[in-house]
A and B are shown apart, each in its own frame.
Chain A
Amino acid sequence: MDEVTTTIEEEVAAVAKSVEVRRLSKKFGGVQAVDGIDLKSTEGEFLVLLGPSGCGKTTLLRMIAGLEHPTEGEILIGDDVVNGLPPRIRQIAMVFQSYALYPHMTVARNIGFPLKAEGLDAATSRKRIEWASSLLDIQDLLERRPRQLSGGERQRVALARALVREPAVFLLDEPLSNLDAKLRAAARDDLLEFQRRVGTTTIYVTHDQVEAMGMGDRIAVMNKGKIRQLGTPDEVYNRPADTFVATFIGSPPMNMLERGNFLMGFRPEQLLPVGIVDGDVMPMTYHVNRIENLGSERYLYGFIRGYAEDIKIIAMLPSTVTVAIAAGQDHEFAVANAKLRYFDKETGLAMVGAPT
């Protein structure tokens, strides 16, 4: 069994392909859902498409899958342009938000369905089903029906069904959003380990930036049909390309202050009492309105003197910072200059280096 297992795993890892889209657009009626996107993933990469609802990430995923036809542009899997080809030929597998398990079939038949469609013989079929179900630890569930399974179990069945086709690319559409919050962290872990093991190129759609930051090799932050930034989690967090990325990533979002004709941004954890941060800093007088003490950190809500009072500025003090803060009072805070980010006020794009 081990030899067989390794062979199948090697096969799967071997077929991983890159995914590329060029100038891809999709218009529904009057709405431009996807607006001229260029994107290329590497082989075996875990690429996350992140953005608020309506940003076009699911449409982009569905076009890669072949479930929607692009209005313009090209889609390439590996080196082949796949426009006009139906999903079944593209060597992709997809896991939907609802898992889309066939309700009238047993788990075993669900997993075996794509193999039957392929015309695979019964013996090879069975071997692959056994391999996939043991990889995902669902061997005991093979004779059950989907309605008898929990959310987590259904997700694993959906993954097994996807895996069994030895696809070149996995496409996942918010597969964790239907799980309880408690299960989600564990499921995230399992999913990542699974991907590392099979090594298939994975494109993962989510609106949850915590998920994206935790899972992606690279994240494509999308808004209104365009990619605002493509980068590693570190890049999108610490060097956001524009104000959208800066405020979408990070919870609570980056603080923004207007200075002349540009915007100055800094993350809540960078706004610290004067004594804590030293060196090259920008001092600020911070009037604190309200304090939330969550044990592991304190969130301060207030505004900066010299700026409009309705611009909410949030500071995050870890529990290791024990400086006493009183609500309703001014405090002397500062931000390290190196951590300040500047954005053009009109375009929202990041400016390189501090403006003079």
Chain B
Amino acid sequence: MATDVFDVERERQLEHRRHRWGRITLYSLAIGAAVAAAFPFLFATLTAFKQSSDLYVKDNNPFWFNDPPTFEHVHFLLFNTNFLTFVRNTVVVGLAVVIVTLALALPMAYALARLGMRWGERLGIGIFLVYLVPPTLLFIPMSRVIANLNLQESLWSLILVYPTITIPISSWLLMGFFKGIPRDIEEQAMVDGYSRIGAVRRTVLPLMFPGIVAVVVFAFTLSAHEFIYALAFNKGSAVKTIAVGVPTELVRGDVFFWQSLQAAGLLVAVPVALLFNLFLDKFVTGFTMGAVKG
């Protein structure tokens, strides 16, 4: 800086060039990342519509429809397998789990966010520790508990147990959202004449609505993703969920119904991904707010 002799024009050109190279790298990385993330899905899309005569030839170009594309395997999936049953089961379980989760996690989150005081932080860590005890540790004794309660081979077994997975993280997210709303609002309502619960119901919950929707989506997807409990509890086809039904039922002995398998994966992946993308920013807010003190 002591010497200020520099060529302004040259600097400007250098800067322009640096900027352009930066953009090129950015786009390359972005496209590269997208390809790396999505290529299995790309193959799945192509495979789902390929005829068996085209698919099961080793040297055929997998990126090309050497025989014309066909819907027969998607048709098979939807109408000749229990796929739709699996979908129905997953949705039913998901909705029920969401209701249970909200019923238990909302009050918990409110208490932690507003009434926490000293033990709020310790309880937060407690929640995290619960998360550390995974279903893959508990599933063996849990399967006995379910059997003793006579809930095996039913959707109720899942509805009963899945909230153990959804409640800890939902409480964390909801706590974050509550913290994002100033205390003043409900305190004002209490001064204006409402009880605390009434105040919260009328003033805070409406403001929480987008956050609650985000948690609903998140809890639903957690429930839909769950594998081990569903695998351990429900062995009968009629009560399987998508996550378990697809890998186990679309394989008969050594024969894989590849096209239907891939189609199943896609049919589930895309809608869930769309939903997730819509709510992504909300999750991030709730997640980070949960970490803020006070």
* Chain A residues at the B interface, C-beta cutoff of 8 Å: 11, 15, 78, 80-82, 84-86, 89, 91, 118, 165-168
Contacts and interface: CB of A to CB of B under 8 A. Distances in A.
A31 to B, nearest CB: 23
Contacts of A86: 15
B4 A85 contact: no
B11 interface: yes
Contacts of B6: 89
Contacts of B11: 85, 89
Looking at chain A's contact residues, the main secondary structure is loop
B1 interface: yes
A82 B12 CA distance: 8
A166 B16 contact: no
Looking at chain B's contact residues, the main secondary structure is helix
Interface residues of B, number: 9
A168 B1 CA distance: 9
A46 B15 CA distance: 31
A81 B12 CA distance: 10
A78 B5 CA distance: 12
Interface in B1-26: 1-2, 4, 6, 8, 11-12, 15-16
Contact of A167 (B1, B8, B12, B16): B1
B7 to A, nearest CB: 10
Given A78-B4, A86-B15, 13 more contacts: A11-B2, A15-B2, A15-B4, A84-B12, A84-B15, A84-B16, A85-B15, A89-B15, A91-B1, A91-B4, A165-B1, A166-B1, A167-B1
A86 B8 CA distance: 11
Contacts of B1: 15, 91, 118, 165-167
Contacts of B16: 84
Contacts of B8: 80-82, 85
Nearest to A17: B4
Contacts of A166: 1-2
A89 B1 CA distance: 9
B293 to A, nearest CB: 14
A113 B207 CA distance: 44
Nearest to A79: B8
Interface of B: 1-2, 4, 6, 8, 11-12, 15-16
A178 to B, nearest CB: 20
The 9 A-B pairs with the shortest beta carbon distances in the complex, nearest first, are: A166-B1, A84-B12, A80-B8, A165-B1, A89-B11, A86-B15, A11-B2, A85-B11, A85-B12
A100 to B, nearest CB: 20
A89 B16 CA distance: 14
Contacts of B2: 11, 15, 166
A165 B6 CA distance: 16
A11 B3 CA distance: 10
Nearest to A86: B15
Contacts of A118: 1
> B1, B6, B15: which has the most chain A beta carbons within 10 Å?
B1
A81 B9 CA distance: 9
B269 to A, nearest CB: 36
Contacts of A85: 8, 11-12, 15
Contacts of B12: 84-85
A168 B6 CA distance: 14
Nearest to B7: A80
27 contacts: A11-B2, A15-B1, A15-B2, A15-B4, A78-B4, A80-B8, A81-B8, A82-B8, A84-B12, A84-B15, A84-B16, A85-B8, A85-B11, A85-B12, A85-B15, A86-B15, A89-B6, A89-B11, A89-B15, A91-B1, A91-B4, A118-B1, A165-B1, A166-B1, A166-B2, A167-B1, A168-B4
